[in-house]
Amino acid sequence: MERYKENKIKVYNSLSKKKENFKPITEGYVGMYVCGPTVYSNAHLGNVRTFMFFDIVYRYLLHLGYKVRYVRNITDAGHLENDADEGEDRIAKKARIEKIEPMEVVQRYTVDFHNVLKNYNFLPPSIEPTATGHIVEQIEMIKEIIEKGLAYEVNGSVYFDVLEYNKNEHYGILSGRKVEDLIHNTRTLDGQSDKKNPQDFALWKKADERHIMRWPSPWSDGFPGWHLECSVMSTKYLGEQFDIHGGGMDLKFPHHECEIAQSKTCSGKTPVNYWMHTNMLLLNSQKMAKSTGNFILPNEILSGENDILPKAFAASVVRFFNLQANYRSILDFSGEALEASEKGHTKLMEAVNFLDKIAAGKISTFNVQEWENSCYDAMNDDFNTPILIANLFEAVKVINHIKEQNASLTAPDLFAFKKALNGFVFDILGLTNENSKDSSEKINGVVELLIKLRKEARENKDWALSDQIRDELIVLGIQLKDGKEGTTFSVN
């Protein structure tokens, strides 16, 4: 269903710093690239907040009927310890410390990343390319940038010439920074660097003797700069120009700024129409970050094995907590906030569950279409999940009024209400009915116990008790079936 024709989205574009009407390059199709994780350690909850928001964007675009190619990369090489092109590759450093192969590090944390996203009910991207899988393409892009006169080679390393680029373009167009200010605020080169200017960034780095991850190139055995991979992979899978590029706000400078410079140098075109950036997740009122040790892992929340929270919380509750704040606002994580979200999540799911038990009435005392439109309006306004959730709780109130026989819906309205509510809660927000899962597991356990008691009754030739268990389960809609392998059951 092509709902996108009736639902016009407004997107806050980090490039223009204002909301703009979203218009894909090709009608009905959306190309979206999101910077994925550097797989040298476990993804913490702050990382997951960014990916969770773009999962919502992906879900909503699909819901509206767009055909979406969603590309989210894996950085498995080239990401140095700081943004000044200095230090070790983060993955190689981890491998050296643990005395294992770099690809063992990559495999371990890629698997962990996928497990976390599965636990939190993420849809997989259309394509998940890796930096190491595109070394050839990165070398070719470097050659092209050199040919355009905007990169230079020194001692086996290649650097992008920011000042030369800035003569005709604006390096800093995304972040709002000016090269003049960058020059003023950057320390003077100490003579140890090969760069012409401190602002220049690496396209290729010559590997020293201790560097494990290296590839042959026309300039040296080395490895690509961190920024290059995203320009290469977004171009390869989405074209020279595409619709949406996303990531955390910490990537805006220098990573995304460098992407723009590289891509525009090669194609002569503005590579991305809409840049979207998520804000920080705080813990103890400070930025959640691996570098400071101020973080919590998503699976630690599910298990309760941490020193921060009073108990374990379900993944859907954590998802619900994240979506109650606008993606561009700072969100403070705490046990108290999660407990409040858990109560809200439970109230929402109880209402959704009760909706299936509601009988149609003769009249409708609630305007379902108007409510549904307000939900779409919220999502169309830059994916405003907090407003959508507020509208969902309006639906909860209506369901509770119906439960108390103070409201009613006709059969057509009841059908439309169920379909819309389930669509927004499960398909778009990606929440899961944990309460329903728990109840199903408990029911299964009780039925298995009754099957065991019935078997013992049959073995003791207590046919009356055996038949009573079977008949009373039938009344409850549970059908037992005796076979060679034992007794199974189905719920009608």
**pLDDT tens digits for 96-110?**
899 999 999 999 999
Q: What is the mean pLDDT of residues 120-144?
A: 98
Pair of tokens at residue 6: 């009736």
The rounded distance, in Å, linking the Cα atoms of 452 and 421 is: 39
Same-domain check for residues 307 and 363: yes
Of 137, 173, 158, 147, residue with least CA distance to 17 = 173
pLDDT at 182 over 90: no
Residues 88 and 55 in one domain: yes
Amino acid at 431: L
Residues 410 and 301 in one domain: yes
Report the pLDDT value the prediction gives residue 311, as an integer from 0 to 100: 95
pLDDT for the residue numbered 119: 96
Are residues 418 and 440 located together in one domain of the fold?
no
pTM value?
A: 0.87
pLDDT score recorded for residue 435: 54
Say yes or no: 54 and 192 in one domain.
yes
Q: Side chain identity at 418, as an amino acid letter?
A: K
Q: What whole-number distance in Å separates Cα of residue 56 and Cα of residue 122?
A: 9
Secondary structure string (H, E, C) spanning 154-211: ECCEEEECHHHHCCCCCCCCCCCCCHHHHHHHCCCCCCCCCCCCCCCEEEEEECCCCC
The whole-chain average pLDDT of the chain stands at 92
Shared domain check, 322 and 463 = no
**Which tens digits make up the pLDDT trace of 367-388?**
999 999 999 999 999 999 999 9
Residues 63 and 189 in one domain: yes
Strands 478-483 and 486-491: antiparallel
53 and 130, same domain (yes or no): yes
- Same domain for 204 and 345, yes or no, is no
Can you give the CATH number for the domain in which 391 is found? 1.10.730.10
Same domain? 457 vs 362: no
- Contact between 112 and 229 under an 8 Å Cβ cutoff? The reply is no
| CATH number (domain holding residue 63) | 3.40.50.620
* In the predicted structure, residue 62 carries a pLDDT above the cut 80: yes
Query: What are φ and ψ of residue 469, in 5° steps?
Result: -60, -45
The tens digit of pLDDT for each residue in 74-99 reads 999 877 766 656 777 889 888 889 99
Per-residue pLDDT of 188-210, as tens digits, reads 444 457 899 999 999 999 998 88
Task: Judge whether residue 117 has pLDDT over 50.
Answer: yes
The pLDDT, as a whole number, for residue 373 is 98
Q: What is the mean pLDDT of residues 452-479?
A: 83
Q: What per-residue confidence (pLDDT) applies to 475?
A: 67
Residue 40's SS3 state is coil
**pLDDT at 82 (0 to 100):** 62
Of 244, 278, 312, which closes a domain?
278
The pairing of strands 242-248 and 29-34 is: parallel
Band (pLDDT 50/70/90 cuts) for residue 448 is confident
Q: What is the pLDDT of residues 208-258, one digit of tens each?
A: 888 888 999 999 999 999 999 999 999 999 999 999 999 999 999 999 999
**Contact present, 351 and 290 (Cβ < 8 Å):** no
Of 383, 413, 432, the position where a domain reaches its end is 432
Q: What is the mean pLDDT of residues 324-345?
A: 96
Residue 12 shares a structural domain with residue 59:
yes
- What is the per-residue pLDDT for 415? 96
Domain end marker among 383, 403, 432 = 432
Mean pLDDT score, 475-483: 77
Taking only the tens place, the pLDDT of each residue in 259-316 is 999 999 999 999 999 999 999 999 988 888 877 888 999 999 999 999 999 999 999 9
Number of domains in the chain: 3
pLDDT reported for residue 192: 52
Mean pLDDT of 408-436: 93
Is the model's pLDDT at 437 over the cut of 60? Answer: no
Strand 272-278 vs strand 242-248: parallel, antiparallel, or unpaired? parallel
Strand order in the sheet with 242-248: 67-72, 29-34, 242-248, 272-278
Co-location of 199 and 224 in the same domain: yes
Q: Is 24 exposed, middle or buried (0-12, 13-18, 19+ CB in 10 A)?
A: buried
The pLDDT of residue 191 is 45
The values of phi and psi at residue 268, to 5°, are 75, 10
Contact (Cβ atoms closer than 8 angstroms) between residue 365 and residue 408: yes
Pick from 393, 283, 389: nearest CA to 336: 283
Domain around 339: 283-432
Q: Which residue would you say has higher pLDDT here, 327 or 438?
A: 327
